[in-house]
């Protein structure tokens, strides 16, 4: 939690910031691509 707060992914109230939301979107997009690649194999 401390690391997330320091990197501004969450705020002092433990609520996702815009940066946190964008980070999650980016991670999910990468995971979706990986799943598609696995299905092709």
Q: Which two tokens stand for residue 39?
A: 């299905």
Q: Which structural domain range is residue 26 located in?
A: 2-40
Q: What is the pLDDT of residue 39?
A: 63
- Give me the count of residues in the chain: 41
Q: Give me the torsion for CA of 39, 22, 16, 31, rounded to 10°.
A: 10
Q: What is the pLDDT of residue 36?
A: 61
DSSP state at residue 12: T
Q: What is the pLDDT of residue 31?
A: 72
Would residue 12 be called left, alpha or beta, if left means φ above 0 and alpha means ψ between -120 and 50 degrees?
A: alpha
The number of folded domains in the chain is 1
Q: What is the pLDDT of residue 28?
A: 86
Q: What is the pLDDT of residues 1-41, one digit of tens each?
A: 899 999 999 999 999 999 999 999 888 887 766 666 656 65
């Amino acid at each position: 939690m401390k690391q997330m707060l320091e990197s501004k992914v969450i705020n002092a109230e433990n609520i996702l910031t815009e940066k946190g939301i964008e980070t999650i979107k980016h991670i999910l997009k990468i995971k979706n691509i990986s799943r598609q690649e696995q299905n092709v194999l």
